[in-house]
Amino acid sequence: MALVAGHLIIVGRGRLLADTTVADLTRQFGGESVKVASADPARLREVLAGPGVEITGRAGSEELLVAGLSPRTIGLAADRCGIALFELTPKTVSLEEAFMDLTKDDVEYHGSTALATRGSAAIEQTGRAA
């Protein structure tokens, strides 16, 4: 759908949830970010910090997820400061991921495996269906 749709209208439970383009919807629900692995993630975080930039990562990990800067900008900033990069991978949210996030609270039916699991346990315990 992302390859052929120019404009999206998404309705859930009779309400208009979105009237937008594919690019705008995916940007709204995660947009584009860059996975960065660095020899000095703490220092790189300081170098990249600024308005419109969001940086997340686990303490003790070499990896950061950077939103708001292009891979080129990140690479050049790291090079200027002498910070070695091991990975610089652009990440984008798919249309499916954005759609599922947008509609998660506006669907009438949810699939569930918990009920099926409990039902199987009841059959196993009693030897017959409840």
State how beta strands 54-56 and 85-92 pair.
unpaired
Range of lowest pLDDT (26-30, 34-38, 49-53): 26-30
- Across the range 15-30, mean pLDDT stands at 82
Judge whether 113 lies within some domain. no
Determine the pLDDT at residue 24.
82
Determine the pLDDT at residue 113.
53
Judge whether 123 lies within some domain. no
3-state SS class at 85? strand
With pLDDT > 70 as the criterion, what percentage of the chain qualifies?
Answer: 79
Domain holding 80, by residue range, is 8-106
Q: Which of 56, 49, 53 is nearest to 68 (CA)?
A: 53
Judge whether 35 lies within some domain. yes
- Across the range 45-59, mean pLDDT stands at 92
What's the number of domains the chain is made of? 1
3-state SS class at 61? coil
Q: What is the CATH number of the domain that holds 26?
A: 3.30.70
> Is the separation of the CB atoms in 66 and 36 below 8 Å?
yes
Distance, in Å, from the CA atom of 90 to the CA atom of 80, rounded to the nearest integer, reads 20
Judge whether 121 lies within some domain. no
